[in-house]
Amino acid sequence: MSRRRRAVAPWVPYFFIAPFLLSFALFTLYPLIQSVILTTRQSFGPGYDHYVGLANFSNILSDAKFWVALKNTLTFAIISVGIQMPLSLGLALLMNQPWLRGRSLFRLAIFSPALVGSVFVGIMSAIVFQKRTGMLNQVLHSLFNFDPDFPWLSTHLMPAMIIASLWMWTGFNMIYFLAALQNVDRELVEAASIDGAGPVQRFLHITLPTIRPVAGFVTLICMIASLQIFELPYLMLARLNSGPEDRGLTVVMYLYQTGFNIGDLGYASAIGWILAILLISLSILYRRLSRGEAV
């Protein structure tokens, strides 16, 4: 039996998927395999390239600087996301009042920082957070008599990063929560209030369960983004170093420094893999927890 032609020539689907396959093979799969190979090498460019086995990993595990970077990154991610989530949910609740006027203007304003890339936020923050002369301390001082010499950019870099990240991301998360809240069944809420549920009970028993899948998902993507934080501390510190006692050192910043300042791509790849394992296990954990919930 001869091979019959279809309504669509058989090469057509492959033509459409080809850009993805080629790009994936060359710029994702190949580097991914290379990154595994690189972890076993100490490589300062083509001139100096040695096989070191698992030494990169064992070196990292005994590298105090890496642990500082990891601790900073985790601290930043957990605190920042921990504040962002309730804050953005709260804002979304305020925005979801049916009688609210000017909702789109509020949304526009609160969302707008999401447009500004963290590189620009970092550059702005390097000035805004300066002690004595910075905008933040001046405003806080005039409002609350706050210490104008509070050293945001040195010893207290972590809270400064967290504040900057809140500014960047809270409005963005709020959009998600607002969309989720608008899916809450109004009839269900009305039925509950007829059954005598107060606002708090309605929130706990109707609103919260409905938005839970979205909340879980937003938490995940925020955690993933926060654990890869780089530009913010890098530019807040004006690319000089990682701050006093490495207080601004994050995992990706350390990866960048070892790979592109020092030039050891092998060590950088090993750091990359540790980060990747962290992020992938987070995704897997999320899938486990959210099994059966659709987003």
Partner 1 sequence: MKPRSKSLTLNLAKALNYALLLLACLVTLTPFYWLLVAAFKKSEDFFAHTFLPKGDGFLGVAWYKLTLDNFSRIFTELDFANNILNSVFLASSTAVISTITAAMGGYALAKYEFRGRDFIMGIVLAALIIPAPLLLAPGYQLLYHLHLLDSYGGLLLPAVAPAFGVFLFRQAMLNSVPQSLLDSARIDGCGELHCFWVIVLPLVRPMVGAYLLITFLGSWNNFIQPQIILQDADKFPLSVALASLQTAYRAEYGMITAGTLVSIAPLAALFLLLQKEFISGLTSGAVKG
Partner 2 sequence: MASVTLQNLVKNYGDAKRPLLAVKGINLEIRDREFMVFVGPSGCGKSTTLRMIAGLEDISSGHVLIEGRKMNDVLPKDRDIAMVFQNYALYPHMSVYDNMAFALKLRHFPAADIRQRVLSTAATLGIEEEQLKRLPRTLSGGQRQRVALGRAIVRSPKVFLFDEPLSNLDAKARVSMRAEIAKLHDRLQATMIYVTHDQVEAMTMGERICVMNEGEIVQVDEPMAIYNHPVNMFVAGFIGSPPMNFIHGHIATVEGRARFVEDNEDMDALRFDIGERLSLRTEAWRDRPVVLGIRPEDIYDHRRCTASQPSSGQYARVEISEPMGSETYLYLNTGAHPLVARMASNDRYQTNEQVHLRMDLAKAHFFDPESGLAI
Place of tokens 């990682």: 242
* Residue 135 makes contact with partner 1 by CB under 8 A: yes
Q: Bridge partners of 262?
A: none
**Among 158, 121, 76, CA closest to 235:** 121
Query: Interface with partner 1 by CB under 8 A: which range of 18-26, 56-64, 150-158, 184-192?
Result: 18-26
Subset of 6-65 contacting partner 2 (CB under 8 A): 6-7
Query: Interface with partner 1 by CB under 8 A: which range of 52-60, 150-158, 187-195, 238-246?
Result: 238-246
Minimum CB distance to partner 2, residue 12 (Å): 12
Minimum CB distance to partner 1, residue 220 (Å): 6
* Residue 106 makes contact with partner 1 by CB under 8 A: yes
Binding mask 269-288 for partner 1 (x = CB under 8 A): x--xx-xx--xx--x--x--
The nearer residue to partner 2, 1 or 200, going by C-beta atoms, is: 1
Look at residue 5 and give the partner it binds from partner 1, partner 2, none, a contact being a CB closer than 5 to 8 Å depending on partner kind.
Answer: partner 2
- Rounded to 5 degrees, φ, ψ at 50 are -120, 150
User: What are the distances in angstroms from CA 91 to CA 50, 144, 163?
Assistant: 54, 24, 17
* Residue 112 makes contact with partner 1 by CB under 8 A: yes
Minimum CB distance to partner 2, residue 17 (Å): 20
Minimum CB distance to partner 2, residue 1 (Å): 7
Q: Which residues, 6 or more positions from 272, have their beta carbon under 8 angstroms from its beta carbon?
A: 35, 255
Query: Interface with partner 1 by CB under 8 A: which range of 73-81, 138-146, 186-194, 205-213?
Result: 138-146
* Residue 268 makes contact with partner 1 by CB under 8 A: yes
The nearer residue to partner 2, 5 or 186, going by C-beta atoms, is: 5
- Measured from the Cβ of residue 238, the count of other Cβ atoms closer than 10 Å reads 12
Binding mask 34-73 for partner 1 (x = CB under 8 A): xx--x-----------------------------------
Place of tokens 């001869």: 2
Binding mask 154-173 for partner 1 (x = CB under 8 A): -------------x---xx-
Number of residues that bind partner 2 (CB under 8 A): 5
Minimum CB distance to partner 2, residue 15 (Å): 17
Asked if 125 contacts 193 with a C-beta cutoff of 8 angstroms, the reply is: no
Q: Which amino acid is at 189?
A: V
**The two structure tokens encoding residue 65:** 């600087």
The nearer residue to partner 2, 10 or 19, going by C-beta atoms, is: 10
Which residues would be at the binding site for partner 2 (CB under 8 A)? 1, 4-7
